[in-house]
Structure 1
Amino acid sequence: MKTFCLAIAATLISGAAATGPARFDYDGTPSGNNKCALINVIMDESGSMTGDQNFMKTRVLPKLGQTLHSATYGYDDVFLCSAGFGYGTAHYANNANYYHMGCTKITAAGDIINMNVVDWLSYGSTEDGWLAMKQGMADVYAQIEGVNLLNNCASIDKNMILVTDEDRDCTTYVNKSWLKWKIYDNGYILNVVVDICIGHVGISSASSCRGSYAPDANKFGMQISSGGGDATVFEYSSTAASHYVEQAVTNTWYDSYVWHDAGTADHYSDLVIDEAGAVWNINSMRCTLPGVAEAFADVFVIIKALELSGPDDRGESSSNGDPHFTTWKKEHYEYHGQCDLVLAKDPAFAGGLGLDIQIRTKLVRFWSYIGSAAIRIGADILEIQGHGSEQDAKYWINFERKGSLSTVGGFPVRIADIDDGSKGIQRVTYEIDLGSKYPGQMIVIRTFKEFVNVRVVGATAEAFGSAVGMWGDFRTGHTLARDGVTVLSDFSEFGSEWQVLPSDEMLFYTTEEPQFPQKCIEPEDPRGQRRRRLDESSISETEAEKACSALKDPMDRKDCVYDILATQDLDMVGAF
């Protein structure tokens, strides 16, 4: 049943503020040791939602708890809070029919400790998901199942899930722009499961997502970017390892190929545009075709887990000349094998344009360095080599030595030489500015002598969300194998895993050994040989530390000292 109401005064809404347990302080700083996740479910309690409520509490939430607790994601605590809205009885404190259900935990076995928290009802009345999300955030407990979140957790990754099959019936005073800001200011990634159908341009009904013939029910959800002009659709695939593939839709306003119930686009889908969350098709969750609903649960959980455990909104990954790698999660490691390596690979980059970054390492006794880097965006390939003693930049654009270089894949390129006046060109910097599509983000390649450094500045999930390779998996931050599941903690094994394969299409203009199936050439006893070299060093550690002292990043300073002692060259600070 659907009943419309007038706007509710703020004085009435204030009566909805819950009493009882102390509320969570979003401005507080976690000071504990555990890795924590907070799932906040905002559930429509109108009469048509019984099946969806059962699906969430029996399939999705238990599976999400198990997944987050697994070794792949490594969460110590998974907290669950929920609220209902739209159930029309007198015990609700406001005309939007909001009610906080409480908070509990989900165990590693997938058990919801207090099932009352998900004991939603269904009897339709007036409803407003905006107010429910606002109040649902405010009502999170500071202490859940005896655990104080700020005292117990070192980090708290938050995900809000709104589930409704209607637009807003009851328009309260809550402002959409403010709500969107508040959700992300509180640290949540929002996902809305709503009445949509992702189909084709000009779609006018949800018929292709409903009933016994529902070809579009396999399009489970999508992330929306570029102000609504681009999207990544999560589509069911029975042959894919994770049961879904990502399909890019570019330069097309999303509302032109997505059917929405009444005002759903304006009320809910717009809240996730250009954010890390997604909009999901409730009709897929309801689909009776074999395997579709089960796959929806699997895919929904995978995407939620990836969102929660993914890197910070903006990050920086890098690889320095004497191979020091910094992953998207800012984990530092070394790999000294000689071969061509996949630094990052993202077929979905820039709406399907695609991005590949490969490096070529060279072995020098017991250590190696990055001597070349090649970057492909779209159809363009830019290869950059260390210039060694040459007083000139060394690059190839689409295999032409020093060809005309203004853009790569449509993104502008800037080249800058740094000449100290006495030693000639010491560094050459190439900046690929991604700002036209991803403001504030760029790929920076810098050469120092024969060494090459590759760095991504300001990386976001919107730009690099599907990236995998030596920088790790962007969504999870883990050093994953090519299967997308196995976490490799042995970095020698991890490096070998990401050797360039024929299927990766080697980007360099010349071929150098080893090439797969030849394995990467590993140095013999690199730590022992390097340790002995450091002990025999003519440059002291104090001198190296002084040379590197201007570097801001502590790990850069540490790597810089190590490289100076290994190469016996104080000028190596220029590689950082």
Structure 2
Amino acid sequence: MKIYFSIVLSAAIFANVANAQSLFDYSAPATGSAKCALINVIMDESGSMGGDQTFLKNVALPKMATELHSSNHNYSDVFVCSSGFGYSRTNNAQAYRHLGCTTYNSAGVIANSTALAWYANGAIEDGWYAMKHGMQDVPSSINGTDLLSHCARVDKNLILVTDEDRDDAYSNVDATNIANLIDTNGYILNVIANYGINNNINDFGMNIGGGGSNSTIFRFDSSAPDNHMTYQDFRPYETYVTSFGGTHPHYTELIVDKPGAAWNINSLRSGGLRAQTFADIFVDIKVKEISNGTGGPSGGGGTVRVGGPEAGGDPHITTWNHKEHYEYHGQCDLVMVKDPTFADGLGLYVHIRTKIVRYWSYIQSVAIRIDDDVLEIEGSADAHDDQAHYWKNFEYQGDLDTFAGFPVTQKLPSVYKRTYTIDLSSKFPGQEITIQLYKEFVRVKLNGNEQVFGNSVGLLGDYKTGKTLARDGVTVLDDFTDLGDEWQVLPSEPTLFHEIAHPQFPELCLKPEDPRGERKRRLEESSISEEDAEKACVSLKDPLAIKDCVYDVLATQDVDMVGAF
């Protein structure tokens, strides 16, 4: 930061005290009741980084903490840890140092600023080494609070800030090792680095999907809502994103096909409204990443994000740990999640029923069984229909104050929007299952740590790795049509829907005819352009939600589909 700390001794003492503590066990389940966030900052301490350090310390972190504590997200505790790398010291070639961990209150005030006492006069910068040890050096207890016994979930975000590529200080640290550690420890990584996107300083960030060939670009635009817009670029990102030296192989490749993002440090340094917009969008997206749950052993997460049909096929499904984000083209009953051992043997089964409409499909209804209770929910395409369409134990609109002993709440924000929340807190503090309806479209979200969903199988994949596994628990299915077909409900599995619908196994799931060709033809005939769809969806902020929303608006030719997200 621009505020340089001269009390070096106190920083060193603080770091040594933190390192003397027992370390956080990423593999252990969180058993408490609090909803916790952990932000881990890995900061370049070279001489050019003062302003960027100021941004994190005085703007980004306080704003993130305030929003996480707010009623929008309801975090009871926001922890922050930080490490520096690159500070020039003759006795430590990689110049890594863990500064410590502390907390932020709901007003965005830090409990101990020494944890962010970065320098700005460094030399050798090995960001891989710093990320590896920055995660390892998180203590088990922060400011007297034991994370695992206090928290029901610990949602984690890793932020690397640097204006250079890494110096190859230690050959025994490699990209595969770092990527695996980030995933295993349940972090989402964001990199603020020396990028140039389309040689345009207004393009200040990007989420990279499609193996590097499907990116959501965040662009500063003072004429747009919130002074920014998003657009898609389907070229390989290396063809239009420049970087400092080896920034791409060192850092960018760690976020390809991940929920994190790459951010242009030069846009931040440009100042003015552009830099303010960078700050606002960066904070908004980081908060949503954290609150969506990061997966991993002690994090939350695992979502079927169904805002409606997607051009070329639906639903949109995000696996545990955000490892994959995919679509399934087909109509049938599917096993989203099942775990016979759930809640000490009560058992959990979540089935979704998909329906084809022309060249796309959508989730028409969801049925959930816990213990001996069954709850089925569906929406309605009638904009004037304000009725709740659900069946409890196959009885239409049966008593729904509780379900399998868990409280259930309903909210009706509009005639065709409704939310059901199954509160699992009596057994799993802070955990829940949420079903959101928008017209006829259903979205299901599972919010829980490994203690809740760690043994589940189905369309969401393996909890720890997010791998899309077949029913044998070993074979990885990278073809998502095969994956969906694999998890069609079998006759040996419980019947959860109140009516039998075609097809049922051994009949195979129905597929749309020529979905991509039909999509292309219909888009050529459509009255809503891709630009219209992007404008309608720009307010969502989350890059994956924006992608889904754009496709869904184009497929349905309904700009109101943004309301499904």
TM-score using structure 1 length: 0.54
Amino acid at match of 2:123: S
**Residue 455 of structure 2 corresponds to which residue in structure 1?**
none
> How many Å apart are 1:266 and its aligned residue?
1.0
Contact 1:46–1:123 under 8 Å retained in 2:
yes
**Residue 427 of structure 1 corresponds to which residue in structure 2?**
502
Matched, 1:64 2:60: no
Partners of 1:270 and 1:341 in 2: CA distance? 48
> How many Å apart are 1:238 and its aligned residue?
3.7
Q: How does 1:72-151 map to 2 (within 5 A)?
A: 72-90=72-90, 94-151=92-149
Contact 2:19–2:139 under 8 Å retained in 1:
no
Matched, 1:277 2:269: no
> How many Å apart are 1:72 and its aligned residue?
1.2
Partners of 1:417 and 1:21 in 2: CA distance? 49
The one of 244, 254, 258 aligned to 1:261: 244
Of structures 1 and 2, the one scoring higher in RCO (CA 8 A, sep 6+) is 2
Contact 2:158–2:188 under 8 Å retained in 1:
yes
1:198 to 1:505, Cα distance in 2 relative to 1, 3 A:
closer
Q: How many correspondences in the alignment?
A: 357
> How many Å apart are 1:73 and its aligned residue?
1.5
> How many Å apart are 1:275 and its aligned residue?
1.3
Amino acid at match of 2:206: M
CA offsets 1:442-471 (integer angstroms, 9 cap, x no match): xxxxxxxxxxxxxxxxxxx996675579xx
Amino acid at match of 2:27: D
Secondary structure of the 2:32 match is coil
CA offsets 1:274-329 (integer angstroms, 9 cap, x no match): 111111100111013x31111111100111111112232516487669986589xx
Partners of 2:147 and 2:189 in 1: CA distance? 20
> How many Å apart are 1:132 and its aligned residue?
0.3
> How many Å apart are 1:239 and its aligned residue?
5.2
Secondary structure of the 1:158 match is strand
Matched, 1:222 2:206: yes
Partners of 1:189 and 1:145 in 2: CA distance? 24
The alignment yields a C-alpha RMSD, in angstroms, of 4.4
> How many Å apart are 1:74 and its aligned residue?
1.5
Partners of 2:122 and 2:267 in 1: CA distance? 22
Q: How does 1:86-485 map to 2 (within 5 A)?
A: 86-90=86-90, 94-172=92-170, 173-199=172-198, 208=199, 216-238=200-222, 240-250=224-234, 252-288=235-271, 290-310=272-292, 311-312=301-302, 314=319, 316=336, 325=366, 334=377, 339=382, 427-428=502-503, 430=509, 467=548
1:47 to 1:33, Cα distance in 2 relative to 1, 3 A:
same
1:69 to 1:466, Cα distance in 2 relative to 1, 3 A:
farther
Partners of 1:255 and 1:54 in 2: CA distance? 30
1:414 to 1:149, Cα distance in 2 relative to 1, 3 A:
closer
Secondary structure of the 1:428 match is coil
Secondary structure of the 1:38 match is strand
Provide structure 1 residue ranges, at least 5 long, that are not aligned to the other structure.
1-15, 200-207, 209-215, 343-359, 376-409, 420-424, 438-460, 470-481, 483-499, 507-576
Partners of 1:148 and 1:232 in 2: CA distance? 38
Q: How does 1:539-554 map to 2 (within 5 A)?
A: none
Larger Rg, first or second structure (1 or 2): 1
Amino acid at match of 2:286: K
Partners of 1:294 and 1:463 in 2: CA distance? 23
CA offsets 1:454-508 (integer angstroms, 9 cap, x no match): xxxxxxx996675579xxxxxxxxxxxx9xxxxxxxxxxxxxxxxx9964489xx
* Percent of aligned pairs with the same amino acid: 37
Contact 1:411–1:432 under 8 Å retained in 2:
no
Amino acid at match of 2:238: D
Q: Which moved more, 1:79-88 or 1:120-129?
A: 120-129
Amino acid at match of 2:382: C
Matched, 1:25 2:25: yes
1:73 to 1:244, Cα distance in 2 relative to 1, 3 A:
farther
Partners of 1:431 and 1:118 in 2: CA distance? 56
